[in-house]
Chain A
């Protein structure tokens, strides 16, 4: 039986990379990801993880080292947050293009400005289209499990793409939770040694990342697009096998009390736990509300999402990031609405931007969203999206 221990979620993330037998860690500390990097450095220094720890001078360098080490055939892990993720931006595109299966924990934090160290999803939503597989954890157990799962999926010969595992900064990264920690030997049953399809080796030289002339650039992009789209099958299958081995079952789209629900709240990440409490309260009061959350964000789980909202009359979609000037709501909302375009009997959809830069999302916040969405739906009129809790005066 795996040991269930009380541990800070950040440390559990490092332990996951440790039991996954990571070969190279290249990372730069940034709040609120710091504890992940510190603990990894500790694990390497204490001899518990036989890995090369590269203390780089910036996140741009961190990601560059990761691309290089992964290309050389090393299992590679890193972690970052907000400004750090933004500084990696340029290299983030390179990793999937070179088909380097890096695993990165992203401790979600608001981007400046104003300067904020607190949680929202503006960092990750700005990196939506970089070609990485992206998953979102709700609790500490999921953080641990999704990191193990990420290595398995990323290194699958049919995938060979990098993965970001997202965890909310502070509200998840810094809490202490009871987590079932798998041992290295237990993980070895699930995670075979990494066998790269192409590897950097002086004895057999290759050129990775050559110039893509107009004659080949489009084809190179299509290769990544197809690999990312097709990776969903591997993502799902790897979760099924995870369930068989360890008993915890994960799906791309998670639902809670959606049976018979007329209105469904949509969330991502750790705030979904508060949302469940809110759903329970509203259900007790007779409101036919359910909850849906994306665990898998890239590739977008289109089929699972459509099945999950079939028969639903109203959707209240929460965004943790603002899409300046889109005039059509946040990134999650616009994708959800686009996914349902042309669907017969599609639900009415209303967007709510909430919890920016660490603003609390309480049960009351969800009640306000559901109340408003129901009221707008009844009148068949309401704002497409709005910021929740913004002071006007």
Chain B
């Protein structure tokens, strides 16, 4: 299929920039403009899952260990997880740091 990205010229785009591959939104990384990212201190984390529940972008997913994995491809750095964490285990860190 014709690609829709930031390097393909107009001649190679699909007619009307139609997306001909179903479900290709999986390929789209939407978190690249984040300025801050959450970092969890697992010594403080009580595995309550509030970050997982509150995240508006479904960035957290439960691990077998009971902790929660964070997906950097989709997190926008909104800080809701850090705000909701009952143990203040999550801190927002500047991306360039």
Q: Judge whether A198 and B10 touch: CB under 8 Å.
A: no
Known: A205-B22, A226-B10. A216 touches B15 (CB 8 A): no
Q: Which of B10, B15, B22 contacts A219 (CB 8 A)?
A: B10
Known: A160-B15, A198-B14, A223-B13. A206 touches B8 (CB 8 A): no
**Which residues from 199 to 227 on chain A have a C-beta closer than 8 Å to any C-beta of chain B?**
205-210, 212, 215-216, 218-220, 222-223, 226
Q: Judge whether B17 and A223 touch: CB under 8 Å.
A: yes
Q: Which of B5, B6, B13, B22 contacts A220 (CB 8 A)?
A: B13
Q: Judge whether A223 and B8 touch: CB under 8 Å.
A: no
A98 CB–B CB distance under 8 Å: yes
Minimum distance in angstroms from B4 CB to a CB of chain A: 6
**How many residues of B sit at the interface, in one of the four size bands?**
10 to 19
Chain A residues, Cβ within 8 Å of B19? 206-207, 210
Residue of A nearest to B8 (CB): A219
A337 CB–B CB distance under 8 Å: no
Q: Judge whether B6 and A207 touch: CB under 8 Å.
A: no
A235 CB–B CB distance under 8 Å: no
Known: A215-B6, A222-B10. A198 touches B22 (CB 8 A): no
Q: Judge whether A216 and B18 touch: CB under 8 Å.
A: no
Complex Cα distance, B32 from A215, in Å, reads 14
Chain B residues, Cβ within 8 Å of A208? 16, 18
**How many residues of A sit at the interface, in one of the four size bands?**
20 to 34
B65 CB–A CB distance under 8 Å: no
Complex Cα distance, B45 from A235, in Å, reads 69
Q: Judge whether B17 and A210 touch: CB under 8 Å.
A: yes
Complex Cα distance, B15 from A189, in Å, reads 28
Residue-wise, chain A 99-117 has the 8 Å CB interface mask toward B (1 for contact) of 1000000000000000000
Known: A215-B5, A215-B6, A226-B10. A220 touches B20 (CB 8 A): no
Q: Judge whether B18 and A220 touch: CB under 8 Å.
A: no
Chain B residues, Cβ within 8 Å of A207? 18-19, 22
**Which residues from 47 to 71 on chain B have a C-beta closer than 8 Å to any C-beta of chain A?**
none
**Which residues from 5 to 49 on chain B have a C-beta closer than 8 Å to any C-beta of chain A?**
5-6, 8-10, 13-20, 22
Chain A residues, Cβ within 8 Å of B15? 99, 160, 197-198, 223
Minimum distance in angstroms from A177 CB to a CB of chain B: 38
**Which residues from 159 to 218 on chain A have a C-beta closer than 8 Å to any C-beta of chain B?**
160, 197-198, 205-210, 212, 215-216, 218
Q: Judge whether A216 and B22 touch: CB under 8 Å.
A: no
A124 CB–B CB distance under 8 Å: no
A17 CB–B CB distance under 8 Å: no
A-B contact pairs, 7 of them (CB 8 A): A97-B16, A198-B18, A206-B22, A215-B6, A220-B16, A223-B16, A223-B17
Q: Which 4 A-B pairs have the closest CB atoms?
A: A215-B6, A219-B10, A207-B19, A99-B16
Q: Could you list which residues of chain A lie within 8 angstroms of chain B, going by C-beta atoms? A: 97-99, 160, 197-198, 205-210, 212, 215-216, 218-220, 222-223, 226
Q: Could you list which residues of chain B lie within 8 angstroms of chain A, going by C-beta atoms? A: 4-6, 8-10, 13-20, 22
